[in-house]
Structure 1
Amino acid sequence: MRYTKLPGTSIDVSKICLGTMTWGEQNTEAEGHAQLDYAIEQGVNFIDTAELYSVPARAETYGSTERIIG
């Protein structure tokens, strides 16, 4: 894995980011865990989350991505 150092810090961030927008809507919790496990095994330490995930935004799945990651 290649990393980039965040300017002004000693933090190395992977060049590849794991997107999580489908977790809780198009992917199950188990699939999200499997994807996260694989990414970490490959050296990924950059995970994209957002307040509106999962996509498409629905009241029933709002916050699912954060719950699965947590």
Structure 2
Amino acid sequence: MKYRKLGTTDIDVSAICLGTMTFGEQNSEIDGFQQMDYALDRGVNFIDTAELYPIM
């Protein structure tokens, strides 16, 4: 997994983000946990939990 610095912090975030907006809508709880485990096992540490972004 590739990582990038988060701004001027010492935090490294994965270049790939797991988006979870549809969790609970399109995924069962078991599916959601399996997908998170899959991503975490591969080094993803950037998880977007926003429900919705406004379009302007």
> Fold match, TM over 0.5?
yes
Structure 2 CA distance for aligned equivalents of residues 7 and 25 of structure 1: 33
Distance 1:45 1:14 in 2: 6
What is aligned with 1:28?
28
TM-score relative to the length of structure 2: 0.85
* Equivalent residue number for residue 49 of structure 1: 49
Identical columns (%):
65
The letter for the 1-side match of 2:38 is Y
Cα displacement string for residues 17-41 of structure 1 (whole angstroms, at most 9, x for unaligned residues): 0011111011101000000000000
For structure 2, the 5+ residue unaligned runs are none
Q: Match of 2:6?
A: 6
Give the TM-score normalised by the residue count of structure 1: 0.69
C-alpha RMSD of matched pairs (Å):
1.1
Instruction: Please give the secondary structure, in 1, of the residue aligned with 2:43.
Output: coil
1: CA distance, partners of 2:42 / 2:20? 16
